[in-house]
């Protein structure tokens, strides 16, 4: 007689069909978890953005109102005001039910935003069920959140402390972020109840063959998939490319560059002054994987960290690994991202080292001239089946421990 699957409630403000990194990670994670658990997703009711990100029909979805304006500009204005004092998704969390209205054996929440964990905390206290909180980035002490008010910092710190204390298990993408939480919350036995799981890719989503546009058919094609915003700027790559082309003017007509994603307006002049024309656009997630496959070199461009050690692991880097293409890592030379890139044989250069970036680009030009292949092996250790399989096993262990109590 088949055993009934445990009921797992997944809480994530961002979820398909919203098109952002967290939503995509949720989509891939649920695809694997559904084979072991009966899933119920609790998320925000926001306008669709990528209808190719369809959730399987056997996942129950409850979309709660955000209590924010539907139109983009009014919504951003309200979020900006809220963000001075509380989490931008605070209204969504506060107006959600105080307890789940369906059977639940385990609660699994994901951030960002932190509001997902705040709702999970309330439901944990209401039900006493085991709870796993997964962090994609640091929450209260994110080094790139430099403009936060004292009120907002106090809000984030107090609520993060409560989440870390009450969660039965924590999941982080990098050793650096785990160590940060260990130092911040020594009283919460962070290391004892934490595991490190990287982001992941689904190999079956990548097309085997992709045709290039005619204008890039015989060129060395660099591609960046993602947004430029805040301190994440295209400037290090474009400055390095300009120096590389000054050293190798013969390659000026043999290099093509593509940026797919949102480019914040302050960076538009940089893009307009690129030494070669840049093909820009926005595409669905599945189409972005096809664009990765057709490139020669994929660009990882991170903002430089104040310490010179990058604590983050960009989900796009893991998607790049799944594409099986050469990657130029413009990121801090210390940190998980750099370690992953070097382990797979990809060059890593600091965003502050324009000469180093230029040298790396020239080396790639030379390889192109020699007719070398830019295809590389795909590291299956980062596949969704492997990574989410470890998460599922951790959930099963936690459920088993709960039954034994």
Cβ-contact 42, 64 below 8 angstroms: yes
The region of weakest confidence among 4-13, 148-157, 211-220 is 211-220
Q: β-strands 309-310, 278-281: how paired?
A: unpaired
**Based on the domain organization, do 100 and 173 belong to the same domain?**
yes
**Phi/psi of residue 309, each to 5°?**
-125, 115
* Banded model confidence at residue 2, pLDDT cuts 50, 70, 90: low
* 19: CB partners within 8 A, 6+ apart: 49, 50, 53, 284, 285
Range of the domain at 147: 7-200+384-404
Q: Answer yes or no: is 35 within a domain.
A: yes
Asked if pLDDT for residue 1 goes beyond 50, the answer is no
Reported as a single tens digit per residue, the pLDDT across 380-404 is 999 999 999 999 999 999 999 988 7
∠ Cα 21 354 309 (to 5°): 50
pLDDT given for residue 306 in this prediction: 83
If asked whether residues 224 and 170 sit together in one domain, one would say no
DSSP, res 129: -
Considering the entire predicted model, what is its pTM? 0.94
| Length of the chain in terms of residues written | 405
Q: Verify that 157 and 286 share a domain, yes or no.
A: no
- Same domain flag for 83 and 231: no
Place of tokens 């538009």: 268
In a domain, 343, yes or no: yes
Q: How many helices (H) and strands (E) does the chain have?
A: 13, 15
The average pLDDT across 294-304 equals 96
Task: State the pLDDT at residue 123.
Answer: 98
Residue 1 lies in a domain: no
Are residues 95 and 68 located together in one domain of the fold? yes
Residues 245 and 266 placed together within one structural domain of the fold: yes
What is the C-alpha separation between 334 and 196, in angstroms, rounded?
18
Same domain for 220 and 239, yes or no, is yes
Number of domains in the chain: 2
> Are 78 and 147 part of one and the same domain?
yes
Q: Is the pLDDT of residue 118 over 80?
A: yes
Spatial neighbors of 51 by CB under 8 A, at least 6 apart, are 17
Q: Do 174 and 287 belong together in one domain?
A: no
- How far apart (Å, rounded) are the C-alpha atoms in residues 119 and 328? 39
For residues 176 and 96, state if they share a domain. yes
Examine the pLDDT at 282 and tell me if it is beyond 50.
yes
Residues 157 and 268 in one domain: no
With respect to residue 134, please indicate whether it lies within any of the assigned structural domains: yes
- Measured in degrees and rounded to the nearest 5, phi and psi for residue 214 equal -55, -35
In a domain, 2, yes or no: no
Alpha helices in 283-348 (DSSP H): 285-294, 315-323, 336-343
For residue 100, give the CATH number of its domain: 3.40.50.2000
Q: How does residue 35 score in pLDDT terms, banded at 50, 70 and 90?
A: very high
Residue 110 falls within a domain, yes or no?
yes
């Amino acid at each position: 007689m088949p055993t009934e699957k445990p009921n797992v409630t997944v809480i994530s403000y961002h979820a398909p069909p919203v098109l952002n990194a967290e939503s995509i990670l949720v989509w891939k994670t649920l695809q694997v978890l559904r084979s072991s658990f009966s899933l119920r997703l609790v998320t925000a009711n926001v306008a669709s953005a990528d209808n190719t990100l369809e959730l399987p029909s056997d996942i129950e979805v409850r979309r709660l109102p955000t209590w924010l304006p539907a139109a983009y500009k009014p919504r951003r204005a309200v979020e900006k005001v809220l963000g001075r004092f509380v989490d931008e998704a605070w209204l969504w969390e506060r107006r959600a039910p105080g307890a789940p209205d369906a059977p639940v054996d385990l609660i699994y929440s994901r951030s960002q935003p932190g509001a997902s964990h705040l709702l999970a905390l309330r439901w944990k206290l209401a039900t006493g069920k085991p709870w796993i909180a997964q962090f994609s980035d640091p929450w209260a002490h994110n080094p790139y959140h430099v403009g936060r008010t004292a009120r907002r910092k106090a809000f984030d710190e107090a609520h993060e402390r409560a989440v870390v204390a009450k969660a039965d298990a924590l999941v982080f993408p990098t050793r650096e972020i785990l160590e940060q939480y260990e130092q911040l919350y020594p009283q919460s036995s962070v290391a004892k109840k934490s595991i490190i799981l990287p982001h992941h890719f689904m190999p079956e989503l990548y097309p085997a063959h992709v045709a290039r546009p005619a204008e890039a058919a015989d060129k060395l094609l660099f591609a960046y998939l993602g947004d430029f915003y805040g301190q994440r700027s295209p400037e290090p790559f474009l400055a390095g490319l300009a120096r590389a082309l000054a050293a190798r003017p013969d390659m000026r007509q043999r290099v093509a560059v593509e940026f797919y994603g949102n480019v914040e307006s302050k960076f538009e002049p940089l893009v307009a002054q690129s030494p070669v024309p840049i093909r820009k656009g926005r595409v669905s997630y599945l189409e972005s994987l096809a664009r990765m496959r057709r490139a020669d070199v994929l660009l990882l461009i991170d903002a430089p960290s104040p310490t010179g050690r990058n604590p983050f692991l960009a989900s796009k880097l893991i998607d790049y690994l799944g594409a099986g293409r050469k990657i130029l890592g413009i990121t801090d030379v210390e940190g998980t991202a750099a370690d992953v890139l070097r382990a797979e044989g990809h060059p890593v250069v600091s965003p502050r080292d324009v000469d180093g970036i230029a040298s790396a680009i020239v080396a790639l030009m030379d390889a192109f001239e020699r007719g070398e292949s830019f295809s590389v092996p795909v590291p299956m250790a980062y596949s969704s089946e492997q990574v989410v399989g470890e998460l599922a096993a951790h959930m099963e262990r936690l459920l088993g421990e709960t039954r034994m109590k």
